[in-house]
Amino acid sequence: MTSDSPRTCSRAFVIALLVMAGIVDLVVAEANDSAIWPHAVVLALGFAALLWPARRRPEWLTPQLRTGAPAVASLLFTVGSLLPSRQDSFIPGEAIVLLCLLFTAVRHCPQPWAVVCGILNGVALLGAPARSYQDDLSSLPDFTVVVLLVIGAVAGLAAFLRSQDYRRAVAVSATRRSERVAIAADLHDFVAHHVTGILVQTQVARMMATTQPENLDTVLAGIERAATEALASMRRTVGVLRDTGPDAADRRPVGDLAGIAELTAGFASPVQHVTLDRDPAVPDDLPHEVQAAAFRVVQEALTNVRRHAADATEVTVRLRHDGRRLEVGVTDDGRGGTQLPAAAHGGGFGLVGLTERVTALGGDLRVGPRADRPEGWEVRALFPMGKA
C-alpha cells in the first residue's frame, strides 16, 4: 500500500457517499411526485464542482464558478417552486452538496469571491427548505435556526482552515526569503572575497611578469589557493541549495576566530603586508555566533581593502577582549587608490549586511577614516559578551 492509499480511500468514500445521497434524492423526489429534472441539474452541477479531478479541470473552471453555479441553480429551483400550483421537496442530499460547496468557497475562493460565493451557498441552503413548507410554515423558523447553526459551523471551520493556510504560506515565504538572504550573504562574504583576491593577485602577477619574474611563483600559488577556496565555498553553498533537510543550514560556510588567522595569512601579497594582532586575553570559547560575526567583519574589511584601497601596504587586524566585550578592528594605510574594474567594486551592500549581523548580536559597527593618521580606513566592531 502506497502513502497515497489513505487519501485515495477517503476520496472514494466521499464520492460514494455523495452519489448515494444523489440517488436517494432522485428516488424521494419521484416518490413525492416532484419534478426530477431540477434536482438532477442542481446535483449534476454540484457533483461536477466537487468531484472533477483537480489535475483535469480546465482553466475556466475556477473555484468561484464551481461553487457559485450550483448555488444559483438551487436558488432558481427554489424560486420556481414557490410559484402557484407548484410543490417541490427539499431533500438532504442537496443540502450536503451545498454545505460542501460552502466549505470550498470560504476556504479556496479568492477574495472577494469567497464572501460572494459563500453567501450564495448560504442563502441557497436557507431558502431550499421553503419548498416543502408552503402549506404549513409553523416549523420553518425552527428548521431555519438549525440550518443557520450548521452554516455557521461549516463556514467557521473553513475560515479557520483558510487562516491556517495563509499563516503557513506566510511562514514558508518568510523561511524561503530568509534562506535566500542567507545564501546571498554566503556568496558575497566568501565567494566574492576569494574572487576579488584572484583578480587583485592576477593584476600583481601581470606587473611582476616583467619586473620580478623570479617572485611570480608565490603570486601564482596565492591565486591557486584563492581559486580552490572559492570553488570549495561554491560547492558548500550549492550543497545548501540542493539539500532541503533540517541540517542544511549547519553546512553553510561559516568562520571562527581560528579562521581569522588563516584569512589574514591568505590575504597577504607581495605588495601588502597583513598583521594579526590578537590579544592573548581573547578566549577561544566565545559564543559561536560571535566568532562567526567577527570572522565576517574581518573578511568584509579585507575584501573592501582590495576593492577600494589597493594602494595600501600595511593592513592590521586587531582582536581585543576586556572581559565584557570583544573588539574586532581592521585598519589600513591606503589612500583609496584602486585599479580594479568598476564591475568589481561591489554594490555597497556588504557593509549593510555586516551592520545587520553585528547589531543583531547587540554590538556596534563603526566604519570610517582612521583617527590616528590622515590616510587610511578603519572598520571597528564591538560585541558585548553579556548579550551574545
With 80 as the cut, is the pLDDT of residue 17 above it? no
Lowest average pLDDT, out of 16-20, 276-280, 320-324, 370-374, goes to 16-20
Residue pair 375/335 in contact by the 8 Å Cβ criterion: yes
Grid coordinates standing for 119? 453567501
Q: Are residues 260 and 388 in the same domain?
A: yes
Q: How confident is the model at residue 23 (pLDDT cuts 50, 70, 90)?
A: confident
pLDDT over 60 (residue 248):
no
The domain containing residue 57 runs over which residues?
5-137
Over 60: is that where the pLDDT of 348 sits?
no
At residue 249, the pLDDT reads 46
User: Which of 137, 158, 187 is the C-terminal boundary of a domain?
Assistant: 137
How confident is the model at residue 341, as a pLDDT?
54
Type of residue found at 188: H
C-alpha dihedral sign at 233, 238, 243, 248: positive
Which is nearest to 19 in space by CA: 47, 45, 42? 47
Query: What average pLDDT is seen over the chain?
Result: 77
The pLDDT assigned to 241 comes to 55
Instruction: Read off the pLDDT band of 38 (50, 70, 90).
Output: confident
| 8 A C-beta contact, residue 317 and residue 267 | no
**Is residue 238 included in any domain, yes or no?**
no
How much is the average pLDDT of 147-160?
Answer: 91
CATH number of the domain that 327 lies in?
3.30.565.10
Report the domain count for the chain.
2
For residues 108 and 86, what is the distance between their CA atoms, to the nearest angstrom?
36
Q: Which of 100, 121, 137 finishes a domain?
A: 137
Q: For 210, phi and psi rounded to 5 degrees? A: -105, -25
According to DSSP, the residues that pair with 318 across neighbouring strands are 277, 329
Final residue of a domain: which of 109, 137, 165? 137
